[in-house]
Chain A
Amino acid sequence: MVSYASSPAAEVVYASEPLTDASTGAILADGMCFRQVEFAGILKGTPNRKLAEQWIDFMLSTTFQEDMPLQMFVYPVNPKAKLPDAFSKYASIPEMPARLTPAEITSGRETWIEAWTEAVLR
């Protein structure tokens, strides 16, 4: 099954009865994972620059960054944010993820989405 490396942690967190171990595991061998970066930005020419900056600062704060892992099952970017137990116990970060340059992604994106839709969703 194709899933996220943080998926085993999600299994434990969402179980109805406390689990001691995750019921699934992630294969994290070299080149088996792709690093997915989620981002937020400020649009050029916004009339609310100040507010937008405050919002981005809030998203980078430890309050937000510590809350995010258990909501989105992604890792925080702020090094001061403490990782939840479920993450340190049941999820691990692959050492050698597969890489693609932004240029490669830009040129391939449309075709890949199309191919994925055809192969998996139809």
Chain B
Amino acid sequence: MSGLLQLVRRWRWQWLLWLLPLAFLLVFFFIPLASILRLGAQVFTDQAHLNLGRVWRPLAFTFGQATLSTLLTLLVGLPAAYLFARFRFPGRGLLNALVVLPFMLPTVVAAAGFNALLGPNGWLNLLLMKLFNLTQAPIHLLNTLGIILLAHVFYNTPVIIRVVGSAWAQLDTRVEQAARVLGASPWQTMRLVTLPLLRPAILAAAMLVFLFNFTSFGVVLLLGGPQYATLEVEIYMQAVQMLNLPMAGLLSGVQLLCTLGISILYSRAVGKQSIPLIPRLKGEGARQPHSGWERVFVAGMLTLLILLELLPLIALVLRSVMLMDASGHTVWTLSAYQELFINRRQSVFYVPPIQSGVNSLLYGLATVLMAVPLGTLTAMALRSRSQLARIMDPVLMLPLGASAVTLGLGFIAVFNRPPLDVRTFPLLIPIAHTLVALPFVVRTLQPALAGIPVSLRQAAAVLGASPFQVWRTVELPILARAAVVSAIFSFTLSLGEFGATSFLARPETPTLPVAISRFISLPGALNYGQALAMATLLMLVCALSILGIEQLSRFLNEGEKTNG
């Protein structure tokens, strides 16, 4: 009897843990999602002439560009993964750390970087105009498919390097050596031994990259111009420009089906990754390039990676401190930064750009304050391995499958009367960011929580600590580092979030990405300069956060190894 009582008590305790995360997801994810689907269904009942081309065309373009982008990314990423897995060269560690940067940067920063490098007022055009005394920009890459693909390759090459590169470095070199001894040429070894062993990793990385490209929003909106629209961009256009909410809802439904499908394929691909990889010593398979071809390969790949991954970011920083005066001379100045603080035209409704920075920081902090406690509760609830936890685990990851634009649309469809009104309740923006961050927070905290030995908690309990005391004095200090990592992560994510925010930010309270996207499309060199200055500031804050996360994660992993 007492056993049953205990069971009931434990269940109740668990329900308490679940209560807050579930209520949060229900109100801010499932209800908006349901309303979007309902909106989408209206298209079939309300709109007399339904032009299915409006669904079909963006869908075809989304699939097409995602396929092309993924293939191009593999083309650059696989040799790059080989480079990092198999060769030692000066600056390897630094470059390895630097190439993760692009992947975590906000899309508006990447868009601003490519604009500063290849846009009509970018470095390349300025240089060519100076060299050949031209009055017009000779290169028109902005608003072409080319620059979209380029930006996607920029974004996702780090994913291939990370996922495939680490699998490659773990590969037992003796298998390849055996193939060579048995008479296989290097090419045959690669084709018949190495690549088949790497196939699961390549497949998983490619699926992930495809998913990112499929849901691309900021890059396509800011670099692709009006004629290119992925589903994400089309949802935004239909909702915000055409005010056709049912059509936006229908497109969101289509988008949701696609992303869920791709996610399921991805988790299948990851599940198959269990090839027998004997753990190797770090850097064991890497060596100096010796033959001439190898030196050419290493030098060529290094140049390509620096041009592709770092040049746009350098171009952004340099372009933000450069102004052309009336006579065409280059002036180095911080005036674009000073201008961020000034209401130059004394306008009534003007929001100084620096205010958007303040907004972003506040939203970021609010996101951390919501995402980390909710994530901790969820991770603790998931720890129990009960039936409930097994059912809830995939449910919690569902927001990952919904795109940010869909979230934004859902919010404006549902939260339109007080107290939860998009127009008067600015906390809805960090709430949307929390939804995006939550799955990552949970996945960061789960292993840290699982790593705490049960005996530790039991010992504390035996010595008379209450469950709360056990949590506060034993578990919390151990969790703290993982919590800091997830806090920085949610903060960075919130700073750069553009998809949902572009729906939710009011004109008087823009965030940095929203302000950047507005200024970069305004005419005039001063607006352009300010957009680049804001993008540079955003990039620096994000870069610092990312480096912080990297350092802390390394620290965490080492800690776990010594503990275990």
Decide if B150 is an interface residue (CB 8 Å cutoff). no
Query: Which A residues are in CB contact (< 8 Å) with B522?
Result: 14
Query: Which A residues are in CB contact (< 8 Å) with B324?
Result: 16-17
User: Looking at chain B, what size class is its interface with the partner chain?
Assistant: 20 to 34
Q: Chain A 41-75 against B: per-residue CB contact (8 Å), 1 yes, 0 no? A: 00000000000000000000001100100110000
Tell me whether A63 and B348 are in contact in the complex, defined as CB-CB below 8 angstroms, given that A11-B523, A15-B526, A16-B524 are known contacts.
yes
Decide if A121 is an interface residue (CB 8 Å cutoff). yes
Chain B nearest CB: distance from A89 CB in Å?
16
**DSSP class of A's interface residues: helix, strand, loop or mixed?**
helix
- CB pair A15–B348 under 8 Å, yes or no, is no
Q: Chain A 13-31 against B: per-residue CB contact (8 Å), 1 yes, 0 no? A: 1111111000000000000
**Nearest B-chain residue to A18, judged by Cβ:** B326
- CB pair A122–B526 under 8 Å, yes or no, is no
Query: Which A residues are in CB contact (< 8 Å) with B323?
Result: 16-17
Decide if B293 is an interface residue (CB 8 Å cutoff). no
Tell me whether A16 and B348 are in contact in the complex, defined as CB-CB below 8 angstroms, given that A120-B226, A121-B227, A122-B57 are known contacts.
no
**Nearest A-chain residue to B323, judged by Cβ:** A16
Query: Which B residues are in CB contact (< 8 Å) with A17?
Result: 323-326, 525
Q: List B343-399 residues whose CB lies under 8 Å from chain A.
A: 345, 347-350
Within 8 Å by CB of A10, from B326, B345, B523, lies B523
Query: Which A residues are in CB contact (< 8 Å) with B526?
Result: 14-16
Query: Which B residues are in CB contact (< 8 Å) with A19?
Result: 326
Within 8 Å by CB of B349, from A15, A71, A114, A121, lies A71
- CB pair B348–A64 under 8 Å, yes or no, is yes
Chain B nearest CB: distance from A87 CB in Å?
13
Within 8 Å by CB of A16, from B226, B349, B529, lies B529
Q: List B165-193 residues whose CB lies under 8 Å from chain A.
A: none
- CB pair A14–B524 under 8 Å, yes or no, is yes
- CB pair A14–B348 under 8 Å, yes or no, is no
- CB pair B524–A15 under 8 Å, yes or no, is yes
- CB pair B347–A14 under 8 Å, yes or no, is no
Most buried by B among A17, A18, A19: A17
- CB pair A15–B525 under 8 Å, yes or no, is yes
CA distance A114 to B49 in the complex (A): 12
Q: List B326-351 residues whose CB lies under 8 Å from chain A.
A: 326, 345, 347-350
Q: Chain B 508-530 against A: per-residue CB contact (8 Å), 1 yes, 0 no? A: 00000000000000111111010
Tell me whether A70 and B226 are in contact in the complex, defined as CB-CB below 8 angstroms, given that A13-B524, A122-B57 are known contacts.
no
CA distance A114 to B242 in the complex (A): 11
Query: Which A residues are in CB contact (< 8 Å) with B527?
Result: 14
Query: Which B residues are in CB contact (< 8 Å) with A13?
Result: 345, 524
CA distance A63 to B524 in the complex (A): 25
CA distance A43 to B57 in the complex (A): 37
Q: Chain B 431-456 against A: per-residue CB contact (8 Å), 1 yes, 0 no? A: 00000000000000000000000000
- CB pair A16–B57 under 8 Å, yes or no, is no
User: Looking at chain A, what size class is its interface with the partner chain?
Assistant: 10 to 19
Query: Which B residues are in CB contact (< 8 Å) with A64?
Result: 348
CA distance A70 to B524 in the complex (A): 13
**Nearest A-chain residue to B339, judged by Cβ:** A16
CA distance A16 to B525 in the complex (A): 5
Query: Which A residues are in CB contact (< 8 Å) with B226?
Result: 120-121
Query: Which A residues are in CB contact (< 8 Å) with B348?
Result: 63-64, 67
CA distance A11 to B524 in the complex (A): 7
CA distance A122 to B325 in the complex (A): 37
Most buried by A among B227, B522, B523: B523
- CB pair A14–B349 under 8 Å, yes or no, is no
Q: Chain A 78-117 against B: per-residue CB contact (8 Å), 1 yes, 0 no? A: 0000000000000000000000000000000000001000
Chain B nearest CB: distance from A111 CB in Å?
11
CA distance A92 to B349 in the complex (A): 26
Tell me whether A122 and B227 are in contact in the complex, defined as CB-CB below 8 angstroms, given that A19-B326, A67-B347, A70-B345 are known contacts.
yes
Chain B nearest CB: distance from A81 CB in Å?
13
CA distance A64 to B349 in the complex (A): 9
**Nearest B-chain residue to A24, judged by Cβ:** B523
Chain B nearest CB: distance from A110 CB in Å?
9
Query: Which B residues are in CB contact (< 8 Å) with A16?
Result: 323-324, 524-526, 529
Query: Which B residues are in CB contact (< 8 Å) with A11?
Result: 523-524
Query: Which B residues are in CB contact (< 8 Å) with A121?
Result: 226-227
Query: Which A residues are in CB contact (< 8 Å) with B347?
Result: 67, 70-71
CA distance A13 to B527 in the complex (A): 11
Most buried by B among A11, A120, A121: A121
Query: Which A residues are in CB contact (< 8 Å) with B345?
Result: 13, 70-71
CA distance A122 to B56 in the complex (A): 13
Query: Which B residues are in CB contact (< 8 Å) with A63?
Result: 348
CA distance A18 to B327 in the complex (A): 11
Q: List B519-554 residues whose CB lies under 8 Å from chain A.
A: 522-527, 529
CA distance A10 to B522 in the complex (A): 10
Query: Which A residues are in CB contact (< 8 Å) with B350?
Result: 71
**Nearest B-chain residue to A11, judged by Cβ:** B523
Chain B nearest CB: distance from A112 CB in Å?
13
CA distance A64 to B57 in the complex (A): 43
CA distance A122 to B529 in the complex (A): 30
Chain B nearest CB: distance from A83 CB in Å?
14
Chain A nearest CB: distance from B16 CB in Å?
41
**Nearest A-chain residue to B326, judged by Cβ:** A17
Query: 19 A-B pairs, CB-CB below 8 angstroms?
Result: A10-B524, A11-B523, A11-B524, A14-B523, A14-B526, A14-B527, A16-B323, A16-B524, A16-B526, A19-B326, A63-B348, A64-B348, A67-B348, A67-B349, A70-B347, A71-B349, A114-B51, A121-B227, A122-B57
A sample of 13 more A-B contacts (CB under 8 A), given A14-B525, A67-B349, A71-B347, is A10-B524, A11-B524, A13-B345, A14-B523, A14-B524, A14-B527, A15-B524, A16-B529, A17-B324, A18-B326, A19-B326, A121-B227, A122-B57
Residues of B at under 8 Å CB distance from A?
51, 57, 226-227, 323-326, 345, 347-350, 522-527, 529
The 10 A-B residue pairs whose C-beta atoms are closest, nearest first, are A14-B524, A16-B525, A17-B326, A16-B526, A67-B348, A121-B226, A14-B523, A17-B325, A70-B345, A67-B347
